[in-house]
Each structure stands twice: as C-alpha cells, then as structure tokens.
Amino acid sequence: MIVRFHNGRIALPGGAVEAADLTVTDGVLAAVSDAGGAPADREVDLEGGWLLPGFVDTQVNGGGGVLFNDQVDVAAIAAIGAAHARFGTTAFLPTLISDTPMQIAAALAAVDAAIEQGVPGVVGIHIEGPFINEVKRGIHEAHRIRRLDTEILATLTAPHRGRVMLTLAPELCDEEDIRTLVRHGVIVSAGHSDATYDEAQRAIGAGLTGFTHLFNAMSPLHHRNPGAVGAAFDSDSYCGLIVDDVHLHPAVVRLAVHAKGKDRIMLVTDAMPSVGTDVSEFTLQGKRIAVKDGVCIFEDGTLAGTHLDMASALRKTVEVTGLPVTDVSAMASATPAAFLSLHDRIGSIAPGQRADWVWLDAGLAPRATWIGGGIVSESARDMIQAAQ
C-alpha cells in the first residue's frame, strides 16, 4: 500500500519534507520516496499540518475512564491504549502505581497477554513503586511502600513479552539488586526518591538508566548538594518530563532540555483515567481526585498524575522552549524508543520501522493516528476515506 502525504511537513530522520509517498508492507514502512513516483492507494492532504512519528509514552496510568491499578486485564489495556491513540500515542507502557506484589504479578501477566493478543500500541509495562521513599511518595499510598525482596525480584526478572520498566528509590535498594534487574532486561529508573547525588550515581553505575518525571518527587538540585536531579544532569541518563503547565515551571523545562538535549529528554504524560473523557473526578486507591482546569489534584493539594495527552505535551513544549517541532517530536518518539531499546522498530518515519504516525494540524492538534499502517481513529478513518 502506498500512502501519499502532501501539503504539509513530514518529519523524516534527515529533515522535514513537504510531500512523500510512504509504502507500507505488513504494517512496516518499506520505503519512503518522492511523492508522485507511482500511483498511490491513498492520498492525505495534511492541510498545512505535520506528519510525525507516533508518540511513545513510558508512563500511562490510565485513560478513557480506566485506571490500570483498578483493572489489570487485557480489556483495560486496550481501552487505555485506544484513548491515548486519539492523541497520537502509538506505543505506551501501562503504568501500575505502588501496589501489592500480587497486583504487580497480575499486571505483568495482563501486559504479556495484551501483547500476545495484539492489542495496538502496548509495548511493555511500567511498575512505578512500591520500592520508593516515603518522604517523596506524592500521591502513592504510604502503607504500600516496601523494600525489594527475592520474591518480587523473581517476579520482575522472569521472562516477559514486552519491556519492563521499574521506578524505584535507589537509596533504598542494594546496588546488586539493580544489577540483577538490569541483567534480566528490566529498565531501572529513579523516582519518588530522596537520593543524594552519590547514591544516585552509584545506582547509575549499577545500570540505572532513567529518571522518572524529573524534578517531581525527587531530591532537588542544590549548589552544594546536587541530589537526584544533579545526578540526572551529570550523567547520560534518560529523563522523563511532564510538560503540562503545572508540574514544572516553563523556565525549568527550558533548563532541562538545554542541559540534557532532545536525545535524553522524554516527554511523558503520567496520565490518569480522565484523559479522553470529560469527567470531573475519579478515584485513585480510595482517594477522590478532582479534575480542575485540566489538573488532577487530591483534596490536600497533592498532584495525582495528569490530565495530559502526548499531543498537548508536544504542543506545550514547543510553546515554552521555542524549539522546532522536529526537535520536540524526537522527545516524544525517537528518544523514548531509544530508552526502551525499541529504536530499531518504532520512533521514526523510516524504512524498517512500524508504520506508526500521527497527523497534527497547523496548530499541533491531533487529526489522525496510524498504528502499523492502519488508522486507529474512527472519525479520522471516515474523513480520509471520504476525501479519496
């Protein structure tokens, strides 16, 4: 199938072009060529907008009215993925907030089953806690917090179909445990942590490669005590960033991007079940969370994830940094794909990659999403078919 895109900007690895023919075979982009070289099976007028690589989100707690902690099954993962696909997310990690060992095992099994059944977009799982520091727990429940032990290590390091990402407080676990996790393919990230600079650096030496929602719920940067943030800046680690006008001041976003670069900053949503809905509240592990002006907040003022989607995260990042769309697009696709060691399959519009794309209009609002070459938005499918 040849899909011809024109009248816009198509973000290719070598730079943006105004038109191109994308040849898709079995869900994979087989070739990128100049538009008009051969008859196209489908033609899409981008109307002055952008065709970008599909977004890769490593932190998705919920969406479409579903919270992963409440429903650890294939149907829930599919509903969450469908909600976020409307906003351009084509690969994601369902994220389990601090919970019991039994629920962690069930979540891992559910993601394995979802991948086996071909649920669009799911590429693994993010276990965020409960191996965190109580003083930086945020909305996580204190009674869930625990230390890593041999039983849960065995659960996490067992073979799984997708990527397994684990957020922990490195100051509260042994370096050898981090080495064991990494040796078995687990991607270890620091978060909800009060680690000193030295503690975080020792964890990096043991194989930790990421920092979960940088700045939020971690020891801050001080000129005599660099903390976890300082260790993130002073290393080659990948850093998730929540750009929603609430979690971070715009100046901090600019500083982080300047310090780390587009190849190490990953945009994440930390999305809650409200994304893709118009609900004004939801329940998180027994707590009533209000959604006010796009902010998810507990009655005591604690932030509880976000009401953010990836298209909005990209748009806000462009606005506060002034960077080109192509640079910010990399933070939403190529960089998280590299963090997950999936850059050979997803994250760019290039031959050999899965045909995952998002069409944004000139204002960077989502118009359509493709996963494996198929349109996953019903309204977009109807619109594009009618335009043929």
Q: Which domains, ranges and CATH numbers included, belong to the chain?
A: 2-52+350-386 (2.30.40.10), 55-339 (3.20.20.140)
CA atoms within 13 A on the CB side of 379: 6
By C-alpha distance, which of 258, 222, 223, 224 is closest to 241? 258
Which pLDDT does position 306 carry in this prediction?
Answer: 97
* Whole-structure pTM value: 0.97
Tokens (6 digits) for 236: 């080659």
Find out whether 139 is annotated in a ligand binding site.
Answer: yes
- State how far the alpha carbon of 336 is from the alpha carbons of 157, 207, 298, 380, in Å: 22, 17, 29, 26
Q: Which of 385, 357, 381, 382 is nearest to 89 (CA)?
A: 357
For residue 343, say whether it is annotated as part of any ligand binding site.
Answer: no
Give the amino acid at 348: S
Distance CA 173, CA 178 (A): 8
Query: Minimal CA–CA distance to 5: which of 27, 23, 26?
Result: 23
Residue 184 annotated as binding?
no
Q: Is 304 annotated as a binding residue?
A: yes
Return the closest-CA partner of residue 95 out of 48, 118, 129.
Answer: 129
305 is in an annotated binding site: yes
**Pairing of the two strands 20-25 and 2-6:** antiparallel
224 assigned ligand-binding residue = yes
Q: Which residues are catalytic?
A: 270
The residue to which tokens 């008009």 are assigned:
36
For residue 259, give the 3-state DSSP assignment: helix
What would the pLDDT profile of 94-149 be if each residue is shown by its tens digit?
A: 999 999 999 999 999 999 999 999 999 999 999 999 999 999 999 999 999 999 99
Tens digit of pLDDT for each residue in 149-207? 999 999 999 999 999 999 999 999 999 999 999 999 999 999 999 999 999 999 999 99
**Alpha-carbon torsion angle 156, 266, 243, 169, nearest 10:** 40
Q: Residue written as tokens 């939403």?
A: 332
Residue 120 is encoded by which pair of tokens? Answer: 């669009």
- Give residue-wise pLDDT tens across range 23-71: 999 999 999 999 988 899 999 999 999 999 999 999 999 999 999 999 9
Q: Name the one residue in this structure whose structure tokens are 């957020």.
A: 167
E strands along 191-342, which residues?
210-211, 238-241, 265-267, 281-284, 287-292, 295-297
